[in-house]
A and B are shown apart, each in its own frame.
Chain A
């Protein structure tokens, strides 16, 4: 077991170093440079001084070695487009913001989604089911930016209940959370409905009914618990996802989160920022993957690895 974990951690580092290397060279293959946002030709000397400041004048491979050396010392470097801003500091300040709205939206979305899923399953092919499925289809088909614009128009312009955008007070969080929650609501309503229907057809449910348990108790004790398992699996991936933020929602509501940063750093050719955020995401996913696998091993003996040969 310990050996397995050690080996997994070893693989983890190999995966990460491949990601860093590939990203480093791919990124430098993108046309344009960090000065391109000025959208005009600069005198040679100005350009040369700027590149020298960030070490971009060195041969690419040397830059790679320098980057790896700094990385091993835990230094992700300084942004190339925003002078004076450390990449690690930016990640530390922006990812909690994303996690905050993402987390609340996920909790609300999953709760409502599961609730709607139960209703839909219990009233299958009746009007509550149709309404829930209608909402679910809307939720997966309407693009986030359309939804955000609609919500801004109705709740900010028309009703004046919430500000269109901004960050810092609870009122700023309402609209983005509503937008972000609709996705999980739709997914979980559909997911929970089908897994519950599945459970309702199981023999043990029939047994429970036949031994005289009330409908409420059958659902509470036998159906819900068993239906919840697949949803929990689904949740693991989602929880990691909240730290990566939502580019569109953060952009439209002026939220200082990491998702918006990541995309704008790619657009601006902010090399150190692209690498730093990519590494952050990669670590997050790789570690989460490992944890999920470990939890599975604890929960389900069938998944356990084959015993060591010796």
Chain B
């Protein structure tokens, strides 16, 4: 819940239609509408020190925020007028073969900060380094679509067999093990960025650990990094699109404490602030020198059931616990009214091509609640039915049900009390709550030592596959122990289906198995990002899956 999930990969599925055609993007930067201030800089903050700026080893959201500004990948997901915009990066042109398994990228004239040209060999080196088992890259699984990745990553195949090749200095070829419609969107992930072999060999393990052990090919370069205090980047003059970079400097103060960044925003030391607390939203909204941006993120809050538990192995029992919750009510009572009530597993911000997934698939849980009502039944009837099937009698108050929460602070206490009341009233269950710290909670979940758990999960990229594949029997990332062959097949078929409408249908069928038939997890609400920005800041990113960073930002009237 309190954990911040990385927003590593981005995707926009609008590219699918263009997959078979060779495609060139014209570089049209967002317009500059106001006179630029003489001094161009931004002060902002992050709540923890980045783990590392090593492309292969970084794993947290904070290093991602830095790296999308200091590095350039093959493409860059940007935004224009509030819409996603697929912009070029190092590659000015790319094409794929007919079945979408071989991709060729043509690199432009970008240079590293020391003036050395960026070549296809830098990409080959980077992807190989991340795939080698001895590198121990925590993000390497993002490279799984590349041919022979699994064999190389487990050490059973030579690194040269990885499906990455430099045809010449400026042409990169990536071969996939099977067609993957969302591949073009995946390569905006930082793990697909290039790395400099000569520098990494010179620095060894120090690479990425301090400012002087980094080398950039992006709009900015790392200037200063005092661990746990400040990260500062400055404009990189060698960058191919440096003319469109307005800022000379971006400074992140590392402020783990919310009081600190609220105070720093009020005193004008930082230009951006995010908050999840209603009282601070109200307070900042009274100011007329700041702009409020609020948008739905891709992070879902949900409870999930242990399908191997004596009680929760029964689908009707799970359904009862899923449908007994009024999602509008829990949002008001437990989430401070700050989230978006959600009636499906795929969050409202995700789309398939140009079709918004949630709109196409409908509000499954709401439909189930309505159908139940139409039959004149309640969630409690479902529970009793499930208990009968399990031979557990007909008195829900005698059931032993424990709800596990990963937190011990007031927020979780409040949520726990709410759940106890609702399940007591709606189902007649005497719910017990087990509060524990994240480490203990997750340990229990991984060992299958729980009945109901509560968590949040942030989508990495804009395709239902990212969140629906979590329930595939072999992956079981949510640790429910649920196994369903039909579901697996639908997900695998969707993953390689190039036709958007068919893909969408597969996903919708799969989600219906997941929720309507099996109720494996109970989605509750989608988080919102609430951000305040000083009025003099322009051209900043507002879309959740955008990797635009500070590239086009400028200030006017500071």
Question: Which residues of A come within 8 Å of B, CB atoms?
Answer: 30-32, 35-43, 45-46, 49-54, 78, 81-85, 90, 93-94, 145, 148-149, 152-153, 156-157, 160, 163-168, 250-257, 260-261, 264, 269
Contacts and interface: CB of A to CB of B under 8 A. Distances in A.
A83 B52 contact: yes
A88 to B, nearest CB: 14
Interface of B: prevailing SS: loop
Contact of B229 (A84, A156, A157, A256): A256
B229 A167 contact: yes
Interface string B20-54: 00000000000000000000000000001101101
Contact of B137 (A49, A90, A165): A49
B443 A32 contact: yes
27 contacts: A31-B443, A36-B438, A39-B438, A41-B475, A43-B475, A49-B135, A78-B205, A84-B213, A145-B259, A152-B260, A153-B263, A156-B264, A157-B266, A164-B260, A164-B264, A165-B253, A165-B255, A165-B264, A167-B226, A168-B226, A252-B257, A252-B260, A254-B254, A255-B228, A256-B227, A256-B228, A264-B228
Enumerate the 10 nearest inter-chain pairs by beta-carbon distance, A residue then B residue, closest first: A32-B439, A53-B136, A84-B209, A31-B443, A41-B477, A39-B3, A256-B229, A83-B57, A164-B264, A152-B263
Contacts of A251: 256-257
B136 A50 contact: yes
B60 A254 contact: no
B302 interface: no
A122 to B, nearest CB: 39
Interface string B438-473: 111011001000000000010000000000000000
Interface string B267-301: 10100000000000000000000000000000000
Contacts of B260: 152, 164-165, 252-254
Interface residues of B, number: 58
B413 interface: no
A84 B138 contact: no
A30 B264 contact: no
Interface string B237-272: 000000000000000011111011001101101000
A67 B205 CA distance: 19
Interface centre among A39, A83, A85 (most CB of B within 10 A): A83
Contacts of A261: 228
Contacts of A255: 228-229
B229 A50 contact: no
B208 interface: yes
A149 B230 contact: no
Contacts of B230: 166-168, 254
A294 to B, nearest CB: 36
Contacts of A148: 259
B230 to A, nearest CB: 7
B154 A45 contact: yes
B228 A254 contact: yes
Given A83-B52, A166-B230, A256-B229, A269 B57 contact: no
B538 interface: no
Contacts, number: 163
B223 interface: no
A273 B438 CA distance: 20
A234 to B, nearest CB: 30
A189 B457 CA distance: 52
Contacts of A38: 6, 59-60, 138
Contact of B226 (A51, A82, A256, A260): A256
Contacts of B54: 83-84
A157 B268 CA distance: 8
Contact of B208 (A84, A254, A264): A84
B148 interface: no
B134 interface: yes
B232 to A, nearest CB: 11
Contacts of A78: 205
Nearest to B50: A82
A46 B138 contact: yes
Contact of B136 (A52, A153, A254): A52
Given A38-B60, A84-B57, 15 more contacts: A31-B443, A41-B478, A42-B141, A45-B150, A49-B137, A50-B137, A50-B138, A53-B135, A53-B136, A82-B52, A83-B52, A167-B230, A252-B259, A254-B228, A254-B255
Interface in B132-171: 133-138, 140-141, 144, 150, 153-154
Nearest to A260: B228
A31 B442 contact: yes
Contacts of A81: 51
Contacts of B457: 40
A49 B260 CA distance: 38
A164 B208 contact: no
Contacts of A85: 209, 227
Nearest to A40: B477
Interface centre among A52, A82, A269 (most CB of B within 10 A): A82
Contacts of A49: 133-137, 140, 153
A173 to B, nearest CB: 13
Contacts of B438: 32, 36, 39
A32 B138 CA distance: 16
Contacts of B206: 84
Contacts of B49: 82, 264
B150 to A, nearest CB: 7
A46 B208 CA distance: 20
Given A41-B479, A46-B137, A163 B51 contact: no
B207 interface: yes
B269 A164 contact: yes
Given A83-B205, A149-B263, A157-B263, A166 B51 contact: no
A51 B137 CA distance: 10
Given A49-B137, A83-B54, A269-B439, A39 B5 contact: yes
B209 A42 contact: no
Given A152-B259, A165-B255, A84 B52 contact: yes
A167 B51 CA distance: 20
